[in-house]
């Protein structure tokens, strides 16, 4: 573990030692110390900054890069960990921490860029000036000396783009990290830089190229809405894997393929305490509530003409409650609280991250614009399917009653209070006979002359069937939408699969 030895350690030398309280997740893994006495055998006597003296094994001691004790504000940091005189786990972490405290969230380790999530906006770090500076730094003009690269996600994107253009070879960028590290944002900035770079650094593009770049960048909000959720560690956690391919022709963007996998479908029907389902459900509900608030009050209808026949009312699914206030295609009321988005900790789990962590109404505006840009319409059909899923989750079941007035464990019926939810689900999903599908299982047996049996489901199995259907539908909604987009933009070679 340590890089020190008995011959290296001397009195007064600054070192790092393992923190005995490292099992505490909030404790620092290493503590700064100073050697106070010569090494005796395999032990070194060191003093911590609080004055406490302890003995520690020599092989667990790492030599620090500072000769004298200085404050973190005055200590020098290195943009590349490989430039550290003494490189160890302790010095690497300390150098990265020093940079993070100065809003320098990127640090190089050779060709690898390490980033720490600042949990705040740093707009100057990603604006057009920052992109232009990265391009100029890695592509010096005639007579200019090439400098060491500045640690940045744009540096990785520029290196990949330049290598692709010069070497005519495919390039790969791997973005990995723990939940909440910033992988989703890093991917967005990489895509944004590559599209900016391919356009000549903000130069003029043809209308076709401009539309194509917009379509690629607008895919991010849609995938985030359908695939990201709030967890206890991250208000915008990706609950799926994503693989993106961007195709270039002569350095210009020619198309893209976005493939996702391992979608956490179970989150549709159940969430852990203080967590939420996928963002799209809350965005749609926020949109619907705003629409209801903005709707003007109904005015008295003008008197009919004597011979005018009254218009028949339009047929539509029942509302979830008796309120006459309808929240758009979702067919919910302003007081509705669907079970699928209620969660064990309520649908306010995002509050743990502070005000402004997520704004569902504002995010819906971004998602809606992206849906329209991708040619998926105004989102009405998607909203109907999402509303159908929310109503499906509110379908409950009761045990069958026997002729003697008791109840039977074999078979079940739709609960009377869930009739409205069932009608809404059927209407919004565009299906019929949903009650039979959820309460009866069809079994086919036999060889050439097969027999069909209807097996009644008890309440537990009916609930499992309902949840399985909801997960399957949700899995297919964005996939079918993405395929529709791929067909429409086939000439531009854009495809997406979820």
Model pLDDT for residues 254-270, shown as the tens digit of each residue = 888 888 888 999 999 99
Contact 108, 84 (CB under 8 A): no
Q: What is the pTM of this model?
A: 0.77
- CA–CA distance, 497 with 487 (Å, rounded to integer): 12
- Determine the Cα angle at 462 with ends 460 and 465, to 5°: 110
- pLDDT value of position 131: 95
Q: Tokens 């359908």 map to which residue? A: 226
Sign of CA dihedral 257, 258, 262, 265: negative
Quote the pLDDT of residue 335.
Answer: 60
Structure tokens at 8: 């290296």
What pLDDT was estimated at residue 302? 53
* Beta strands across the sheet bearing 252-261: 241-249, 252-261, 494-497
The pairing of beta strand 43-48 with beta strand 494-497: unpaired
Q: Which residues contact 61 (CB under 8 A, 6 or more apart)?
A: 2, 4, 9, 15, 16, 17, 44, 46
Q: Which own/partner pairs from 137-144 qualify as long-range (CB within 8 Å, at least 24 positions apart)?
A: 138/162
- Locate tokens 């270039």: which residue? 248
Question: Strand pairing partners for 53?
Answer: 47
Q: Which residue has the tokens 């008197």?
A: 303
d(CA 255, CA 166): 20
∠ CA 318-324-330, rounded to 5°: 55
> Closest Cα partner for 358 from 260, 294, 292, 286?
286
Which tokens go with 281?
Answer: 């459900």
Backbone angles phi, psi at 208, to 5 degrees: -65, -45
* Buried residues in 328-354 as b, exposed as e (16+ CB within 10 A): bbbbbbeebebbbbebebebebbeebe
pLDDT at 84: 93
The whole-number pLDDT of residue 71 equals 67
In the prediction, which pLDDT does 95 show? 95
Q: How far apart are CA 420 and CA 454, in angstroms?
A: 26
The pLDDT value recorded for residue 467 is 97
Residue segments in the chain with a per-residue pLDDT below the cut of 70: 1-7, 22, 38, 68-73, 201-209, 288-329, 333-335, 343-357, 377-379, 447-449, 478-498
Closest by Cα among 397, 393, 415, 391 to 320 = 391
């Amino acid at each position: 573990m340590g890089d020190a030895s008995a011959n290296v350690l001397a009195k007064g030398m600054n070192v790092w030692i393992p923190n005995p309280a490292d099992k505490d997740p909030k404790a620092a893994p290493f503590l700064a110390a100073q050697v106070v006495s010569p090494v005796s055998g395999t032990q070194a006597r060191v003093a911590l900054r609080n004055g406490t003296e302890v003995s520690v094994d020599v092989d667990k001691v790492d030599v620090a890069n500072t000769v004298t004790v200085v404050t973190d504000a005055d200590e020098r940091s290195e943009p590349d960990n490989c430039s550290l005189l003494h490189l160890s786990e302790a010095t690497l972490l300390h150098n990265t921490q020093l940079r993070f405290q100065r809003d320098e969230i990127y640090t190089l380790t050779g060709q690898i860029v390490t980033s720490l999530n600042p949990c705040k906006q740093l707009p100057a770090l990603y604006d057009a000036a920052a992109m232009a500076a990265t391009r100029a730094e890695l592509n010096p003009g005639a007579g200019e000396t090439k400098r060491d690269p500045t640690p940045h996600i744009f540096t990785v994107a520029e290196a990949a783009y330049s290598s692709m253009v010069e070497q005519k070879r495919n390039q790969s960028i791997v973005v990995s990290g723990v939940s909440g590290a910033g992988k989703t944002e890093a991917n967005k900035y990489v895509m944004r830089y590559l599209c900016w770079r391919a356009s000549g650094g903000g130069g003029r593009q043809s209308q076709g190229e401009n539309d194509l770049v917009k379509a690629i960048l607008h895919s991010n909000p849609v995938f985030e809405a359908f695939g990201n959720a709030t967890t206890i560690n991250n208000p915008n956690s990706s609950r799926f894997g994503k693989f993106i391919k961007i195709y270039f022709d002569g350095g210009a963007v020619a198309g893209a393929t976005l493939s996702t996998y391992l979608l956490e479908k179970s989150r549709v029907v159940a969430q852990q305490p203080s967590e939420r389902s996928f963002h799209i459900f809350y965005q749609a509900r926020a949109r619907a509530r705003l629409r209801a608030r903005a709707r003007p009050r109904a005015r008295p209808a003008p008197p009919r003409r004597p011979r005018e026949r009254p218009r028949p009312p339009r047929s539509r699914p029942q509302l979830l409650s008796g309120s006459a206030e309808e929240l758009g295609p979702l067919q919910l009321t302003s007081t509705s609280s669907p079970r699928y988005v209620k969660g064990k900790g309520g649908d306010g789990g995002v509050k743990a991250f502070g005000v402004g962590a997520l704004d569902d109404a504002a995010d819906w505006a971004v998602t809606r614009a992206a849906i329209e840009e991708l040619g998926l319409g105004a989102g009405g059909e998607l909203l109907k399917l999402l509303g159908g899923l929310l109503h499906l989750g509110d379908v409950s079941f009761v045990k069958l009653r026997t002729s003697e007035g008791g109840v039977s464990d074999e078979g079940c019926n739709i609960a009377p209070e869930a009739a409205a939810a069932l009608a809404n689900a059927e209407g919004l999903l565009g299906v019929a006979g949903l009650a039979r599908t959820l309460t009866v299982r069809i079994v086919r047996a036999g060889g050439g002359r097969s027999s069909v049996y209807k097996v009644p489901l008890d309440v537990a199995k009916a609930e499992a069937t309902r949840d399985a259907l909801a997960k399957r539908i949700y899995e297919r909604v964005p996939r079918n939408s993405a395929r529709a987009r791929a067909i429409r933009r086939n000439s531009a070679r854009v495809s997406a699969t979820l």
